[in-house]
Amino acid sequence: MPRMLTEDQKANRVNISQELLDGVSVNENFLETIVTGGETWVYGYDVETKAQSSQWVGQGSPRPKKARMSRSNMKVMLLVFFDWQGIFHHEFVPRGQTVNKEFYVAVLKRLREAVRRKRPQLWANQSWVLHHDNAPAHSSFLVRNFLGKNKTTIVPQPSYSPDLAPADFFLFPKLKSTLKGRPFDTIDGIQKNSTNELFTIPKEAFQKAFQSWQKRWEQCVASKGNYFESDKLE
């Protein structure tokens, strides 16, 4: 985990987790209304894990020699949004563009259109809520004003808590594990292959991730805001 939490930060994690658990208590379909997402770098080459690069050799055989490779400098930033049913909006940030508040508002406009087209029931009754992290662009006044004018409710996210964000504990690790050790020579290659991998993730995996998210809220409350052994919750 990224840092030592202060008592105030722990209390905030507990308060938000309890607030979301209360939301489930009031509305048993609460998890199905959440649209969550985030952004991450995808590389032209990402180093294999030790498990991926391991080779079986017979007893007494010399250890195989391996060329050492480092992570590629070629990369592209992916933004992706998903819900209980799966991914329904993703895009790649143009090279040279930063995810600032103006760009993120434009992303949110495209996201709203994706909700309208692909989740018509949620759009019709305006029951969907948005979850994202506390990056400066996401929490800027411009973004909050845009969401407020469009009556979009925000699901709170505690600071320093990737263990409580489905993009961080589920989607991005799952995507990157399939891409590790596979070299791509062009930005187009990175985009095509990462998109293909995103859409091979089955609906059941997303549902399991959202159920795990609820268990993480429960564990966060039980641990009084401390980080916890999340691998037991999957």
| CATH number of the domain enclosing 128 | 3.30.420.10
What token pair was written down for 173?
């690790």
Q: Is 221 contained in some domain? A: yes
Q: Which H/E stretch holds residue 75? A: strand 75-83
Phi, psi (degrees; rounded to nearest 5) at 128? -80, 145
Query: Of 234 and 223, which is predicted with more confidence?
Result: 223
Q: pTM of the prediction?
A: 0.87
pLDDT band at 51 (very low <50, low <70, confident <90, very high): very low
Q: Is residue 234 part of a domain?
A: no
- On whether residue 167 sits in a domain, the answer given is yes
Q: What is the pLDDT of residue 67?
A: 47
**What integer pLDDT is reported at residue 109 of this predicted model?**
98
Pairing type for strands 129-131 and 153-155 reads: parallel
Q: Determine the average pLDDT of the residues in 201-218.
A: 98
- DSSP string covering 141-200, please? HHHHHHHHHTTPEEEP--TT-GGG-HIIIIIHHHHHHHHTT---SSHHHHHHHHHHHHTT
Q: What is the mean pLDDT of residues 184-197?
A: 95
Q: Rounded to an integer, what is the distance from CA 176 to the centroid of its chain?
A: 12
| 150-157 mean pLDDT | 97
% the chain with pLDDT above 70: 87
Domain count along the chain: 1
Query: Residue 27: which residues within 8 A CB-CB, separation 6 or more?
Result: 33
For residue 155, the cross-strand partners are 131
Cα–Cα distance for residue pair 64/61, rounded to 1 Å: 9
Residue (of 95, 98, 43, 97) closest to 74 by Cα position: 43
Look up the domain containing 36 and give its range: 15-45+68-226
Alpha-carbon gap, residue 135 to 88, rounded angstroms: 22
Give CA–CA dist 75/72, Å, rounded. Answer: 7
pLDDT more than 90, % of the chain: 82
Other C-beta atoms lying within 10 Å of the C-beta of residue 170: 21
| pLDDT classification of 203: cutoffs 50, 70, 90 | very high
Residue 132 lies inside a defined structural domain of this protein: yes
* Cα gap 179→13, rounded to integer Å: 32
Instruction: For residues 190-195, give the mean pLDDT.
Output: 96
Q: How many CA atoms lie within 13 A of 174 on its CB side?
A: 18
Q: Is residue 232 part of a domain?
A: no
Q: Is residue 55 part of a domain?
A: no
pLDDT band at 43 (very low <50, low <70, confident <90, very high): very high
Residue 205: inside a domain, yes or no? yes
SS3 144: helix
- Residue 114 forms part of a structural domain: yes
Report the distance separating Cα 139 and Cα 158, nearest Å.
Answer: 12
